[in-house]
Structure 1
């Protein structure tokens, strides 16, 4: 079974946590003691119903305020597929959490309150999903029960959002009317909306095609670790030399000719090993160990690719950066560590070109970036990086920025161009 990673986003009180609670509850993915705890808390609050939002709002601060402030990850499975949910916060001051939760997602669900319609935050979340190149987007119009399951209201919101989406880079957009509180169109089709001809949300999540979203053309294998079992007594094991890592792009098979960067030397794959034994091919996002015909000087941070399909070797990089540090600004001459795939290098901020207004999509002149702000930045690195544009490969096109003094993550970047 494959795994679908999806993120939920929306404005405060749009019902994200309730929707996830409903998915977990109706798909029977919660334990009895969890349900008992939720029912007990619901009774203590006097809500009059089982508040399924409590399944995901696990932080006490969130329960007291009634808002989601952190990224809460939940896992469940159906007979067709496994799921990882990132429940991301809606407030503008938690943009960094939204970026964190959606950066690895295959699909994003943006919730809209049917009574309020599209808000600034709905547009902002859609923009962030398109900036992060989330391949599939679902606009779930929630609380349809509070507008008497009105087809006209659903169509109004659908048309307005479809018009806005034309400005964004969204490849697959689906609209589903739901009521998370009552379960309409969440796991099963709703009898209250006979005018809706589409599938339920869970059915869409189970059947959305994600295999073709990954880049299977450009072979990219960042080396994470060199495996040499020196202490082995078995002669065959003693001579073993493998290069472990996660396939970031393309398909690798024994017999393939590959190129090593930075040396530029070529060799042939003699075998591909996994924890469960040898395999005949490797593709994203598999973690494997490659064996080669020649003993090349390969170390962590190096890249394996095809001789005639290489990533850019660059030291000057233009990127869209989401700044995540509180009390520290990103500005020219800032010195940071840049972690790109398995290679970490020192980087200097050459220029902050502009800051993006994520509500209007306008570019504003800026000399620095503050907490939760997104802008285009030029970096110069001390060593070459093997990169692709983020639009082509999210793994070799993305990086994080680390503060050398505290070793804390202070930013996330998506490569636009390189020199």
Structure 2
């Protein structure tokens, strides 16, 4: 939209002089002028003509003088740039005008060459200010959309630097992480809505804070679950290590949160977590109508199925060998070679553990028992029986003992 200039002056011949001086710009449409005889008419004109970007105002006028008009214009959220043009060119009026927010001050009789240069300068200033406001508004809208997915710092960086093109569809190596609360659907039926709302707010506030601390991206919430991504939109060579650390931190938080809920009489289920690393197609798939940062591909599907496998295994965190290979400090107990739905080859999976658990005697005993299981040795059954005898609450040892007692052998698992 082209900007117009509003001339506010009760001098009868000024309109003709202005139009004569700027006739070329008026004729070619590069300048538009509106005219008012006092401050009251000027306010009406500004309200009725959104194209007005500059006001040239006399001081001494009937009904409302120029300084009062200037102050009224400054009250707007985006005030119009005002140049005072007055025969009262003493320092008192100049200072009063500038202190009230005038962009410039010209004296009468008008030097039209000076007026033309001042109008051009003021219009450039207004155009730059409007462009800055447009960019700022776009950045704020972008930040509001990005804040749903990314940490506050990354969302602000992407929005402020205009890096939305970084979010276009691209294939990246990522680690995908899914979470889900066991038995949540049944819980919904037994808990009052206000209590459930408070519970979920506390749960998601805590979990998303942990995700952002580890540099993860929240792809979307699925009721009581989350899909998280590491390695996009920015490069994260250590994305698997970040995801492993995040999964362990999430498990610790969720267990503490469950314990707190139990004290309040709410039987919140375990948070199950699945992780897998590999290539995925990531980007904004909103089609231009809305922002929808998403990820697609086998890596994403596999992570979701590993999360679901925890239900069968009794574990909290199930991670693939691809994650273990990419995370230098990975610690875990092998679960087996899973035949997951949608995959033609088995996938070695692990129960993710804190590093300090790896050297503990029960973990070492499990590793020996699993080696015997994978090799098909008969000693696997008594080895797992001993593990369960020492720790009846060990879900993974129980899982393999049941398999062996039912006549199954080896480490290959068919997981629904």
Does TM, normalized by the shorter one, top 0.5?
no
Larger strand share, 1 or 2: 1
Normalising to structure 1: TM-score of the pair? Answer: 0.30
Structure of larger gyration radius: 2
Normalising to structure 2: TM-score of the pair? Answer: 0.30
